[in-house]
Structure 1
Amino acid sequence: MAVDCLLLDVDGVLVRYARHLRVRHLATACGCSAAAVHAALFDSGLDREHDSGLDSDVYLARLGQALGTPVSAAQWQAARIAASMPQAGVIERVQRIARHLPIAVLTNNGAMMADTIPRLLPTLADALRGRVLCSGALGGRKPDPAVFLQATALLGLRPERTLFVDDLFTNVRGARVAGLQAETAADSRTFGKVMKRYGLGG
């Protein structure tokens, strides 16, 4: 089946995400302990709420209350960028593919990541303009098949002609249930193999 769009996960495919670096960076910015940041973001479930649709202003307010100091969107974004190492080999392949095929992103992250991803991936920013979909804005998370159907509808795509790539097979399985073509890849080598299999080069 031909492919009309390459739909990509972010963490684990386009970047390597290190949660501990995010925690450490935010702790330094806010003048508190890494343990306090971890508890406020993850032990409390707040970050997952944001990923699932919690309003970003409410999220930042609750995070600031938990840490005892205001947290700005800029501080949050800087910490997220500090924790995300772009996978150069994958990105170079995607750049080449984007010259002849539309690309888009579907990520389990809060809505603020829509503005963060172009900064994380500046060489893909133009190709991704208006095509970054975050679970926090969609109100649901991968691997729910409904999220994939919502994403393809928003992008004006036919699910069966969309190739989705994620590092987690559970998300790939959800995409397949929704009717997408979907494969697992977590580095440049495996990503390249998938692209070759689908005749996308890269």
Structure 2
Amino acid sequence: MTVVAKRRAQMVEETRAKLIQAARKAFAAKGYAGASMDDLTAEAGLTRGALYHNFGDKKGLLQAVIDQIDGEMVARLRAEQDRAKTRWLGFLAESIAYIEMALEPEIQRIMLLDGPAVLGDPSRWPNQNACLRTTTQTIQALIDEGTVRPVDAEAAARLLNGAALNASLWIAAADDPHAVLAKAVEAFRHLTVGLLQTDLG
């Protein structure tokens, strides 16, 4: 890659990063509908043309913001898994941490309220496929080590991921998110314990 091409690629990345940062701030503060493209491009010091060129439209920009937040959530969940004493406790900690993130204003508004309203069913988002693969692999490993009963790993992963996602959506839309969180986490723990060979939960 020539120096000119390298610099051009770097400028494109910088432009994208500025737009994503400005949009993330605007979507979190005002919501997707309330954030005007003129305001967020002005905040980034860029033009609407830069937004259209890099993301196609406001919806494409929302997708990019969601992808960024999702990447951060995945890193945080992986850290939960790594801190745990066993694979099972790590899986449980990761799942509950995911549900608890529904209390965070930015995640609540962008990922759980505006995201589904604008981009459709979150269980069909590309990042959910990656999440499903990881959960399936974890459950298969738990089956292989004898912690979890011999069930179909993908079926269990789909059901547990669906339960965690729906719990998060419920919390985000609730009048009293903290009260709903407590109920959702308790029920989720009971659901997961049913997979164990013996009661390790």
Q: TM (normalized to structure 1)?
A: 0.38
Determine which structure has the larger helix proportion and give its number: 2
Task: Specify which structure has the higher proportion of strand.
Answer: 1
Which of the pair has the greater relative contact order for Cα pairs under 8 Å at 6+ separation?
Answer: 1
